[in-house]
Structure 1
Amino acid sequence: MAAGKKEDKDDKADQQVDAAAAEAKKKKKKLFMFIGIAVLLVLISVGATFFIVSKMMGSKHSGDEQEAAAESSEAAEVVAPAVYYPLKPNFTVNYDVNGRQRFLQAELTLMYRDPAVVKTLELHMPAVRNGLVMLLSSQVFEELQTAEGKEKLRAAALQTVQDIIAKEEAAGAEKAKESEEEEDEEKSAEKKSSPNIEQVLFTQFVMQ
């Protein structure tokens, strides 16, 4: 009997050991599973972060390329060579100053960058010269003796030339509308809306 009881105790002890081992094995599996899940989550997080950063860097790089292209285009426009067109003959205008005859002799030079402008300029040169003569004749002689007066006249001369060319080009565009498509007309009008002449320069300015 004693031997039988002892064997029963041994069996129970073995069962408890097996149960403890099985429980430990389950806990170890759960631990490994949790570690695996944690590692997987870390990898997913790192991958997502890398993807977002890469996308942002790619977008920034694309934006930098577009900005550089725009700056390059602007630089190309800025560095376009200037063309100078002297208006010959010189302009001579008489003034009556306190009963005395005074005169101004001025040589004007136009500056532009588009070589195609010269055709429009030469076509409408009579209107340009007439507008400038009328402008010069309307000035006050004493005011032209100051630097401010000369600069004011130069700005007015530029505006006069630009207005005349814009007016004549608009008239030509109206005549051409009959044979142009609407889309082409809009592009043509947009192109011609900006002044062709950039500067009017006084290369000679003599007052007596």
Structure 2
Amino acid sequence: MAEDKAPEVAPAKKGKLKLIILLVLVVILAVGLSVVGTLWFLGGNIPGITGEDSEEVTEQVDVFEPSTYKVLEKALVTTVQAEGRQRYAQAYLAFEANNPEALAAASKHMPLLRSRLITILGGRSFDDLQTPEGRQALADGMLEAVNGALEQEGEPPLLRVLFRNFVVQ
């Protein structure tokens, strides 16, 4: 009986060892595939694989330039017309630029810029200022006016005019 029990234990250990080795290989394969898949989805270069995409990525590498901001402390307040009534519009603004010289130029020419901004704001209708599209068009118009004034003065342009607060009543 002792001889019958000994051969049965040995094959069971070999089966468990094969199962453990197989599981370890499956885990290593899954980890490797997840790393390669992540690199591929993120657009990274996979070692040993070259292609047309990898060359294009290296040519298009841009240096990140953080934006800087100039907050206008005083609000722009003006009247707007709405169906024969006089309404008020108030806007707190900030300028965005990736060139600090543009913000310095904006500070230098602030009286001219405020005058143009108030003219743009006062020229809009009350109904337009109540819609998101109308406010976006206002911001775009303000940016064109500010950049036009800065261009006339030989200064670099701004990237965006941002609303910090906007009220119409």
* Other-structure match for 1:55: none
Structure 1 or 2, whichever has the larger Rg, is 1
Q: Counterpart in 2 of 1:155?
A: 140
2:81 matches 1:96: yes
Under a length normalisation based on structure 2, what TM-score does the superposition of the two structures give? 0.62
- From 152, 165, 169, the counterpart of 1:167: 152
Q: 1:86 Cα shift?
A: 1.2
Q: Which residue of 1 aligns with 2:165?
A: 204
User: For each residue in 1:80-130, what CA deviation from the matched residue of structure 2 results, as whole angstroms up to 9, or x when unmatched?
Assistant: 111111122011111232343210111111100111223211221111111
1:116 lines up with 2:77 in the alignment? no
1:66-77 aligned at under 5 Å gives the runs: 68=58, 70-72=59-61, 74=62, 76=63
Q: Which runs of 5+ in 1 are unaligned?
A: 1-63, 170-191
Q: Partner letter of residue 165 of structure 2? A: Q
Aligned to 2:122: 137
Higher helix proportion (structure 1 or 2): 1
Runs ≥4 residues deviating over 3 A: none
TM, length-normalised to structure 1: 0.51
Q: Could you say what secondary structure the match of 2:124 adopts? A: coil
The secondary structure found in structure 1 opposite 2:126 is coil
Matched ranges for 1:29-108 at <5 A: 68=58, 70-72=59-61, 74=62, 76=63, 79-108=64-93
The offset of 1:135, in angstroms, is: 0.6
Q: Does the CA-based 8 Å contact 2:69-2:103 persist in structure 1?
A: no
Amino acid at match of 2:76: F
Q: Which runs of 5+ in 2 are unaligned?
A: 1-54
SS of 1:142 mapped into structure 2:
helix
Q: How many residues align?
A: 116
RMSD of the alignment, in Å?
Answer: 2.1
Contact in 1 for aligned 2:81/2:125 (Cα 8 Å): no
